[in-house]
């Protein structure tokens, strides 16, 4: 992203799957662990650049957008919204969004 001079990125992972396979293909990585991996990678890159006196090369922001299909049942949408809120509370600077969810309660 640095080479392409991207200034801001919003990632839209499919978070309805509550885990993804780990690197070894045996274990599972849950949402919290996925967000922590992203946070850690961003911080590691910033630290690498900082130590080289090149932090100015990291001018972009990164956010996660929690997405779900609009066609899912209301009960599933409620569950997804609750999962999103939990992630936003744990990772407030990483998860995008203001609380403007459609009223389905």
What are the C-alpha distances in Å from 60 to residues 7, 8, 18? 4, 5, 28
Task: For 20-76, write each residue's pLDDT tens digit.
Answer: 899 999 999 999 999 999 999 889 989 999 999 998 888 778 889 888 888 999 999
The tokens for 68 are 């779900």
Q: Where are the domains of the chain?
A: 8-90
Helix (H) or strand (E) holding 46: helix 31-51
Angle, vertex CA 94, rays to CA 9 and CA 53, nearest 5: 70
Tell me the average pLDDT across 17-22. Answer: 88
């Amino acid at each position: 992203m640095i080479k392409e001079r991207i200034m801001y990125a919003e990632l839209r992972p499919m978070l309805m799957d509550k885990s993804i396979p780990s690197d070894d293909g045996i274990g599972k990585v849950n949402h919290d662990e996925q967000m922590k991996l992203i946070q850690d990678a961003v911080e590691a890159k910033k630290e690498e650049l900082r130590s080289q006196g090149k932090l100015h090369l990291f001018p972009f922001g990164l956010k996660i957008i929690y997405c779900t299909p609009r066609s899912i049942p209301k009960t599933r949408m409620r569950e997804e919204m609750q999962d999103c809120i939990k992630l936003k509370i744990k990772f407030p600077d990483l998860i995008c969004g203001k609380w403007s969810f459609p009223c389905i309660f």
